[in-house]
Amino acid sequence: MNITNKEYGEITKRRSPNTKAGLSFTKAFLFGGAICVVGEAFLNLYTHLGFTRIDSGTLTSMTLIFIAAILTGLKLYDKMSKHGGAGTLVPITGFANAVVAPALEYKTEGYILGVGAKMFTIAGPVIVYGIAASALYGILYYIMR
Amino acid sequence: MDYLWAFLIGGGICLIGQALIDYTRLTPARILVIFVVAGVVLTALGWYEPLVDFAGAGATVPLTGFGYLLAEGVRRSVDSGGLLGAFTGGLGASAAGLEAVMIMGLIVAVLFKRGDKTT
Amino acid sequence: MGRFIKGGTVEMYNSPSVKAFAAAVGKKEGDGPLAKHFDYIGEDITFGAGSHGKDSWEKAESVLQQKALSLALRKGDLGENDIDIIFAGDLLNQCVASGYAARDYEIPFIGLYGACSTMAESLALAAVFIENGLGGNAAAMTSSHYCTAERQFRFPVNYGSHRTPTSQWTATAAGCAIVTPRMPESPPPYIYSVTFGRVKDYGIKDANNMGAAMAGAAYATISTHLTNTGKTIDDFDYIVTGDLGLVGSEVMYDLFDKDRINIKKKHKDCGLMLYDLETQDVHAGGSGCGCGAGVLCGYFMREISAGKLKNILFTATGALMSPTILQQGESIPGIAHAIHIGNG
């Protein structure tokens, strides 16, 4: 029997289950929302302590990064994200996990070429394209303001 | 009240991410890039700032908030320092977060033992 | 001397005997439904390969492969010097798990890459080697390790990445089989024929759906083997695949349905046998070279040896891709090799 790639693709598609959207959506919403609530609590705390709005925001980010990094070290963040999906991927804690996990993983290849070089294998593109987009915005803003 | 909005908006942004995972089969790295660039674009258009005022951490904690931070930093730097600001503002505004993540990466790599997920 | 039939099949007139076989697995596999069939279950995922903080999973995989080899040697009452050649492979770049496993032995070594088909590939080569009178004992072995595969093909293990429902869990397992010429007193299992498969690509690009990418190769090789040897699926107790998993198995059933062959009633997939799919969170089943190797050398060889099974067609499938070439937009080619093993 001969079969075309198109027919094969159709069989594959029919036989491949999709993620149970309802459940994954609910979990992503709950985890993501909860992490933002924790962020909001720190934001209020730092504002209450007398920091400026910008500094409070910066401190909040640093605090969340700190917590996520420790949770990654304790192997708890990946357990959380098994349920959280995008809810643990999209917040800044997911960004911290994306940097800390390879740093920890590649320790076996040494601190320079392992930890140092591999740290941004996942998060690198985020910084590159974020910075590039913001620089482009800066140039346009300079011309048009 | 601000906690409720942080929860709803933050959860909602993550929900968009989950939809991208479930329906587009985009890899996580691509989704994160999309979120950051989207944050920059929305801030440039002036649409993200109101969301931040409204939802606080609900808008700044998701990675679109990182894009917001970059774009805001660039705008302020261009205002104060001209064209050069377009190239210093982004990293300047995000320096604390990026340094925190690198230093924590190093500290965790030194102090912790990696896990294996197989038990 | 075996007879080579056009189309990749070799029929063995002397049907070499599998003198000894052993399976060594990790803890998660040891918690699965086949636990009692394994010769060794490691409690620690590093298998003693390194001290605290300096452990290497690559070295751990080598140690696991050595466990399988040394257990097979012991079970066959053989010494290192009795083995004329080793055919071995694994999933890692440059086959390091196998090469580093073999460096502690004074045995001629052939390194193979057949992705998850390597158990069938190595065992088929060992059988052909022995059938043609080239040696007294040939070892076939392979391994895979969840952590080494994960960091090479996907993400760092502690990265919280999302697994899709079609994704499979790489088995931490190794298997070794030692093939020897059949004498009147040689016990089963025996190897009657093998078919070396062709590379088949049906354009599947989703690296999280390997079973589906490989199902076409399994279908092609099984069909070819049946045609070339004049057998039907009813001549076998089971048609055993390596790691098609839930999705790949269903795709293969659909392909055979088009030929009006109901293979489902005869089919067993090692990836679906190794774990309890309900409780062990492996999504679409197990995968990896060690999945087929562990289940073949742990379960099926024993059942055949004990006379509980008479004939199986072991068909391990592999996906011949790398992350690099997938990033370049290529699709995933599959391969499958089939071996008829029995006790008659």
Residue of B nearest to C281 (CA): B118
The reported pLDDT for the residue numbered C59 is 92
Structure tokens at C10: 């070799």
- The answer to whether residue C129 is domain-embedded is yes
Least Cα distance to C216 among C261, C248, C258 occurs for: C248
Whether C127 and C217 map to the same domain: the answer is: no
- Of A29, A92, A129, which has the smallest distance from its Cβ to B15's Cβ? A29
Structure tokens at C141: 């072995």
Whether C97 and C201 map to the same domain: the answer is: no
Question: CA-CA distances (angstroms) from residue C141 to A106, C268, C315?
Answer: 28, 21, 15
Whether C262 and C202 map to the same domain: the answer is: yes
Whether C94 and C116 map to the same domain: the answer is: yes
Q: Which of B3, B9, B15 to mutate to test the interface with A (most CBs of A within 10 A)?
A: B15
Whether C150 and C194 map to the same domain: the answer is: no
Q: What subunits make at least 3 CB pairs under 8 angstroms with C?
A: A, B
Bridge partners of C336, per DSSP, are C317
Structure tokens at C134: 């080239």
Least Cα distance to C243 among C265, C220, C263, C273 occurs for: C273
Site of tokens 């598609």: A13
- The answer to whether residue A8 is domain-embedded is no
**Average pLDDT of the residues in B71-75:** 96
Structure tokens at B6: 């942080």
Mode of pairing for the β-strands spanning C173-180 and C138-144: antiparallel
Mode of pairing for the β-strands spanning C286-287 and C169-170: parallel
Q: Is there a contact between C147 and B21 if contact means CB atoms under 8 Å apart?
A: no
Q: Is the distance from CB of B28 to CB of C162 less than 8 angstroms?
A: yes
- CATH number for the domain harbouring residue C43: 3.40.47.40
- Of C53, C157, C162, which has the smallest distance from its Cβ to B115's Cβ? C157
Alpha carbons B44 and B38: distance in angstroms, whole number: 10
The reported pLDDT for the residue numbered C52 is 43
Whether C162 and C214 map to the same domain: the answer is: no
Q: Mean pLDDT lowest for which of C5-14, C64-73, C138-147? A: C5-14
Mode of pairing for the β-strands spanning C311-319 and C334-342: antiparallel
Instruction: Please give, rounded to a whole number of angstroms, the shortest distance from the CA of C208 to a CA of chain A.
Output: 11
Domain boundary among C158, C180, C202: C180
- The answer to whether residue C3 is domain-embedded is no
- The answer to whether residue A74 is domain-embedded is yes
Site of tokens 């072991």: C314
Whether C78 and C143 map to the same domain: the answer is: yes
Q: Is there a contact between B62 and A127 if contact means CB atoms under 8 Å apart?
A: no
Site of tokens 């979990």: A27
- Tens of pLDDT along C174-209? 999 999 999 999 999 999 999 999 999 999 999 889
Domain boundary among C180, C213, C229: C180
Whether C101 and C166 map to the same domain: the answer is: yes
- The answer to whether residue A32 is domain-embedded is yes
List the alpha helices (DSSP H) in chain C: 27-30, 57-75, 96-102, 118-131, 146-153, 210-229, 245-257, 270-273, 289-295, 301-305, 323-327
Q: Which residue segment(s) compose the domain that C97 sits in?
A: 16-180
Q: What angle do CA C172, C144, C338 make, to 5 degrees?
A: 115
Average pLDDT value over all residues in chain C: 94
- Domains of chain C: total: 2
Structure tokens at A142: 């300079």
Q: How confident is the model at residue B119 (pLDDT cuts 50, 70, 90)?
A: low
Least Cα distance to A92 among A71, A118, A107, A111 occurs for: A71
- Tens of pLDDT along C215-258? 999 999 999 999 999 999 999 999 999 999 999 999 999 999 99
Alpha carbons A68 and A92: distance in angstroms, whole number: 9
- Of B18, B44, B107, which has the smallest distance from its Cβ to A86's Cβ? B18
The reported pLDDT for the residue numbered C51 is 45
Q: H-helix or E-strand containing C334?
A: strand C334-342
Those residues of chain B whose CB sits closer than 8 Å to some CB in chain C are 21, 25, 28, 113-119
The reported pLDDT for the residue numbered B115 is 80
Longest dimension (CA), chain C: 56
- Exposure string for C253-264, b = 16+ CB within 10 A, e = fewer: bbbbeeeebebe
Q: How confident is the model at residue B44 (pLDDT cuts 50, 70, 90)?
A: very high
The pTM of the full predicted model, rounded to 2 decimals, is 0.93
Find chain C residues with C-beta within 8 A of B118's C-beta.
26-28, 45, 146-147, 172
- Domains of chain A: total: 1
Instruction: Please give, rounded to a whole number of angstroms, the shortest distance from the CA of A90 to a CA of chain C.
Output: 11
- The answer to whether residue C5 is domain-embedded is no
Whether C194 and C165 map to the same domain: the answer is: no
- Tens of pLDDT along C280-300? 989 999 999 999 999 999 999
Q: Is there a contact between A1 and C163 if contact means CB atoms under 8 Å apart?
A: no
The reported pLDDT for the residue numbered C5 is 87
- The answer to whether residue A51 is domain-embedded is yes
- The answer to whether residue A42 is domain-embedded is yes
Q: Is the distance from CB of A35 to CB of A91 less than 8 angstroms?
A: yes
Question: CA-CA distances (angstroms) from residue C308 to C172, C189, C278?
Answer: 27, 11, 27
Q: Mean pLDDT lowest for which of A27-31, B9-13, B23-27, C296-300? A: B23-27
3-state secondary structure of A103: helix
Q: How confident is the model at residue C42 (pLDDT cuts 50, 70, 90)?
A: very high
Alpha carbons B8 and C169: distance in angstroms, whole number: 35
Alpha carbons C25 and C38: distance in angstroms, whole number: 7
Whether C53 and C172 map to the same domain: the answer is: yes
Structure tokens at C295: 């289940």
Whether C26 and C144 map to the same domain: the answer is: yes
**Average pLDDT of the residues in C106-125:** 97
- Tens of pLDDT along C148-175? 999 999 999 889 887 788 899 999 999 9
Alpha carbons C264 and C261: distance in angstroms, whole number: 9
Q: Is there a contact between C27 and B119 if contact means CB atoms under 8 Å apart?
A: yes
- The answer to whether residue A106 is domain-embedded is yes
Find chain B residues with C-beta within 8 A of A31's C-beta.
14
Q: Which residue segment(s) compose the domain that A40 sits in?
A: 22-144
Dihedral (C-alpha) A108, A110, A112, A113: value to the nearest 10 degrees?
A: -60
Q: How confident is the model at residue C119 (pLDDT cuts 50, 70, 90)?
A: very high
Question: CA-CA distances (angstroms) from residue C262 to B57, C233, C241, C244, C342?
Answer: 57, 9, 15, 17, 22
Residue percentage of chain C with pLDDT more than 70 = 99
Amino acid at B114: R
Write out residues 16-55 of A within 8 Å (CB-CB) of B: 18-19, 21, 24-25, 28-44
Least Cα distance to A100 among B112, C53, C219, C247 occurs for: B112
Structure tokens at C44: 């620690």
**Within chain A, which residues score under 70 in pLDDT?**
none
Q: Is there a contact between B117 and C146 if contact means CB atoms under 8 Å apart?
A: yes
Least Cα distance to C175 among C44, C270, C38 occurs for: C38
- The answer to whether residue A117 is domain-embedded is yes
Is C198 in the A-facing interface, judged by CB distances under 8 Å?
A: no
Whether C288 and C201 map to the same domain: the answer is: yes
φ/ψ of C261, rounded to 5, equals: -115, 125
3-state SS track over A55-122: HHHHHHHHHHHHHHHHHHHCCCHHHHHHHHCHHHHCEHHHHHHHHHHHHHHHHHHCHHHHHHHHCCCC
